[in-house]
Amino acid sequence: MSSRQDSVGKGRKTTAKSVATPPAGLDVGGRLREIRKAHGLSQRELARRSGVTNGTISLIEKNQTSPSVASLKRVLDGVPLSLTEFFDVGEVPDRKVFFRQDELVPVTEGPLDFRRVGRRSDSTLQMMVERYHPGADTGRVMYRHEGEEAGVVIAGHVEITVGEERRVLGPWESYAFSSRSPHRFRNLEDEECIVISACTPPSF
């Protein structure tokens, strides 16, 4: 690890902001409960499938805890359901080719602001505009899934951990790895970081 990365990791204190903040007005607990019941799953069965505790699912459904992106993704993998499908309530997949800035699909909002290009449920490619506000973190519990992903940092800096490797990337630096490796993204800087990413098959 470079001296710059050492100083970032040791010298800066940040408050982790890994909560998977949904688009405004969405009842996360109610939405999860609705989806679980629609798939005929008890809390215990969903817990078994996803590898989280029954108590955690109960707390999420009661809106007594706000899950991190990684934690919510892990729960939804037990259904299975993508984050885009979870947050995109009542929308019909479209066949648009071109998109304005305000037509990107919100996946999460807040410190972690992820926007997906298009909402086609049958797409085998996911492209995202990811904004990491200062202190934003995908969560201490690293997540993994099938497929592979890659991205380019457009502005700011982001610390990326993949397995045992960790690196801070700046503008026009990039990454590519198998999504089966546990991974985590954090913004340790005082400025916003913007990443353009691609993943296949879609994970969000």
> Would the pLDDT of 151 be above 90?
yes
pTM higher than 0.85: no
Residue 145 burial (CB count, 10 A): 18
Give yes or no for residue 11 having a pLDDT over 70: no
Task: Supply the DSSP symbol for 146.
Answer: S
Nearest Cα neighbor of 91 from 108, 112, 76, 105 is: 105
- In angstroms, the Cα distances linking 2 to 100, 116, 157, 173 are 39, 33, 14, 15
pLDDT digits (tens, 9 = 90+) for 96-145: 789 889 888 888 878 999 998 987 666 788 899 999 999 999 888 888 88
159 vs 119, higher pLDDT: 159
pLDDT of residue 19: 52
Task: Tell me the pLDDT tens digit for each residue of 38-75.
Answer: 889 999 999 999 888 889 899 999 988 878 777 888 89
Specify the residue for token string 């984050």: 83
